[in-house]
Amino acid sequence: MASVGNQAPDFTATIVAEEDGTMVLSDRLSDEAPIVLVFFPGPFTPTCTDELTAFQDDLDTYNEIGATIYAVHTDTPKSLEVFRDQSGIEFSLLSDTARNVVDAYDVRCDFEQYGLIGVPDRAVFVIDSTGKITYKWIADDISQEPDYELIKEAVRNSI
């Protein structure tokens, strides 16, 4: 289970960034941790755009700390590439079309009222260099954004 104090589930996902490729979490820990995994339910929606833009606005702070942000969704790499470009997001997005990552982190949800089935709930995990989850937040409501200051504090405490 993906809980604070437990080892983060390892995964492989497709990276959507300046240079696309494949990401294996365990291969990235030593160079990129703390890692902030941001699960978001709907690209091109106002709340998700606001959320990822807030992380983008704080990207310099995360870079200064030495943290790496990855945002995870179940859309195709091409769709996420368009969303990333239109939103001005510079950090990498991860395409999880097989839903292996959302299942491993237990954040798969159906928001039938919005027509979203099998998408990630809005959630944030911070993972330290040993692979331990040091912070976990899952939204109580799809429209709720995380406390960005608490996340930055958790990242600082994960070094």
Flag whether 2 is in a domain.
no
Q: Supply the pTM of this predicted model.
A: 0.95
**What is the tens place of the pLDDT at every residue in 49-59?**
999 999 999 99
Report the pLDDT value the prediction gives residue 111, as an integer from 0 to 100: 78
Mean pLDDT on 146-153: 98
Flag whether 112 is in a domain.
yes
Within 13 Å, how many C-alpha atoms sit on residue 9's CB side? Answer: 15
Residue 58, domain extent: 12-156
Flag whether 54 is in a domain.
yes
Residues 26 and 131: beta-carbon distance below 8 Å: yes
Confidence category of residue 61, pLDDT binned at 50, 70, 90: very high
- Decide if pLDDT at 74 tops 90: yes
**What is the tens place of the pLDDT at every residue in 75-125?**
999 999 999 999 999 999 999 999 999 999 999 988 788 777 888 999 999
CATH code, domain carrying 31: 3.40.30.10
Q: How many domains does the chain have?
A: 1
Q: Mean pLDDT of all residues in the chain?
A: 94
Flag whether 133 is in a domain.
yes
**What is the tens place of the pLDDT at every residue in 24-41?**
999 999 999 999 999 998
Flag whether 4 is in a domain.
no
C-alpha to C-alpha distance for 115 and 82, rounded to whole angstroms: 20
Q: What is the 3-state secondary structure (H, E, C) of the chain?
A: CCCCCCECCCCEEEEECCCCEEEEHHHHHHHHCCEEEEECCCCCCHHHHHHHHHHHHCHHHHHHHCCEEEEEECCCHHHHHHHHHHHCCCCEEEECCCCHHHHHCCCEEEEHHHCEEEEECCEEEEECCCCEEEEEEECCCCCCCCCHHHHHHHHHCCC
Residue 111 pairs with which residues in a beta bridge? Answer: 116
| Percentage above 90 pLDDT, the chain | 83
- Decide if pLDDT at 1 tops 80: no
